Structure 1
């Protein structure tokens, strides 16, 4: 089977916000200017991640820059979520190219965003990087599931990239409204955003293990072990 003959993985979005997001995208896609291409939308999404990085850097001395980060999160959603919809609407989709480009840029955007959060001073850098690592584990698991099941899951237990963006929108507003005050636990200085970060890490790790076990059970039912037949005397 050549690459062109491989069936495209079905996309399934079980996110908590999937319904309203789908309606918003169906309304927005026909209204995107004709000069703005799907690749241009992907570029907007990545540029927004860079803007979020800048906003977090500025927030070190100017907490109001957290609202710039929130603006960047909305722009990132706009570019990242609309590129595929616009391509399909215009009949110019390239499924394998678009999938590879979109997923690659998403990973780069997540790294840039995490670096900004790490230097912002609101969460300890090591917690941010471990949180990014566990989120990338979830991304890798989604790609593995697409390979073995033919379905690309955009969310796990209701949590997809759109829901994650919304969590950060709320978190940034909270950081601005209630500036974190450090406290000491066992000689380690923490603040309440660090506790959120640790909860994020535990949630991702738990979802990864739960999904791995559930997927393995399903695959085991679909592919029961076979016993080798003894060689025939004929």
Structure 2
């Protein structure tokens, strides 16, 4: 039986250029310095998942009353706290487990995103089919990010100066607008303005995936020019 691979993972160049990155990093460092010992990265990861479940539950329950949307808003804050703090705390305490942390964190991110977006689609404000367009766009960009780690050693965490935190703030604003304006038809008597917005965001993510794929492929083609097999 082959021995398990215990070699340390190569460091990943994290590219984060979102608008709030610098201030968010200061806040996270401040929080890390004040976390009690019983708070561990794994517990923060599961806290983030609890937040995502609350977001999902709030959207689904909003079919029975708009007040349930406050549960979704609270869930976004809990999800941000857990998702942003787990890796930050591990790096702050110098207790990183690079392969384990990378695998668990991004696996939970995928599940959390699915819960959030499907929850929006199961509310009375956005059609599930429209919400799934946004989910497809997000997952395509996630695939691009994970492939970039493999071929470039880079993990791109933001696009168009926006990252997960900015996206959460957009979704919180969207949720507040749901409570303020309700679901009024906008196009063809079927789609609401929320459908248009969510579908537009999903379409933009898909376009970004196509553009980033073309840019990365061109970069790799320069680094690995074709070989003349004829000698």
TM range (shorter): over 0.9
Q: Does residue 190 of structure 1 match 2:215?
A: no
Q: CA RMSD in A?
A: 1.5
Q: Which moved more, 1:214-223 or 1:47-56?
A: 214-223
Aligned length: 227
Q: Which 4+ residue blocks in structure 1 deviate beyond 6 angstroms?
A: none
Q: Distance in 2 between matches of 1:228 and 1:183?
A: 58
Q: Does residue 128 of structure 1 match 2:128?
A: no
For the residue of structure 2 that corresponds to 1:163, the secondary structure is: helix
TM-score (norm 2): 0.93
For the residue of structure 2 that corresponds to 1:11, the secondary structure is: strand
Q: Distance in 2 between matches of 1:184 and 1:12?
A: 38
Label 1:80 to 1:9 Cα distance change in 2 as closer, same or farther (>3 A).
same
Residue in structure 2 matched with residue 220 of structure 1 by the alignment:
221
Q: Does residue 119 of structure 1 match 2:127?
A: no
Q: Is the 8 A contact 2:73 2:172 kept in 1?
A: yes
For the residue of structure 1 that corresponds to 2:122, the secondary structure is: helix
Deviations 1:48-95 (A, max 9, x none): 100111111221121122222111101101000110111122221101
Residue in structure 2 matched with residue 171 of structure 1 by the alignment:
174
Deviations 1:90-148 (A, max 9, x none): 22110110000000001111111122112111100111112101110010110011111
TM-score (norm 1): 0.92
For the residue of structure 1 that corresponds to 2:17, the secondary structure is: coil
Q: Distance in 1 between matches of 2:160 and 2:136?
A: 19
Q: 1:69 aligns with which of 68, 72, 76?
A: 72
Q: Distance in 1 between matches of 2:163 and 2:216?
A: 18
Residue in structure 2 matched with residue 81 of structure 1 by the alignment:
84
For the residue of structure 2 that corresponds to 1:152, the secondary structure is: strand
Q: Is the 8 A contact 2:124 2:183 kept in 1?
A: no
Residue in structure 2 matched with residue 150 of structure 1 by the alignment:
153
Tell me how far 1:152 sits from its aligned partner: 0.8
Residue ranges of structure 2 left out of the alignment (5+ in a row): none
Residue ranges of structure 1 left out of the alignment (5+ in a row): none
Q: Distance in 1 between matches of 2:117 and 2:24?
A: 24
Deviations 1:177-200 (A, max 9, x none): 111212451xx6111100002211
Q: Is the 8 A contact 2:13 2:155 kept in 1?
A: yes
Alignment of 1:94-105 (within 5 A): 94-105=97-108
Tell me how far 1:172 sits from its aligned partner: 0.6
Q: Which moved more, 1:97-106 or 1:31-40?
A: 31-40
Q: 1:49 aligns with which of 48, 52, 56?
A: 52
Structure exhibiting the larger radius of gyration computed from Cα positions: 1
Q: Does residue 202 of structure 1 match 2:203?
A: yes
